[in-house]
Amino acid sequence: MKKTDGPGAAPGHNERRLTVAQVRVRPTHAEVTFFETARIFRLPNGDPAHNVHLRLLENASKKRTPVLVRFNEPKGEVIAGVREG
């Protein structure tokens, strides 16, 4: 059995299944909030797949569908990847 990391946790070391509440685009990053947590997470602009990840987050917010979010470290605040899920 794989270890999970709190509410909304999905199989995978730094990955969680979360529902996007809001995405705010800033000059250097996007700020993302999720319904499952009160924290604000960051999606840096420097990521080569930034536009793909941002589009997935924005679409998930509009549709209120969960996505699988991978973070740069356990309990980290930097989003390293997003995929449908």
Q: Which residue has the higher pLDDT, 85 or 12?
A: 85
Q: What's residue 13's pLDDT?
A: 67
pLDDT digits (tens, 9 = 90+) for 47-66: 889 999 999 999 999 999 99
pLDDT digits (tens, 9 = 90+) for 35-49: 999 999 999 998 889
Region 5-19: mean pLDDT is 67
> Residue 2 pLDDT more than 70?
no
Task: For residue 3, give both structure tokens.
Answer: 């270890």
Taking the CA atoms of 12, 77, 53 and 64 in sequence, report the sign of the dihedral they define: positive
Residue 41 exposed, middle or buried by CB count within 10 Å (0-12, 13-18, 19+): buried
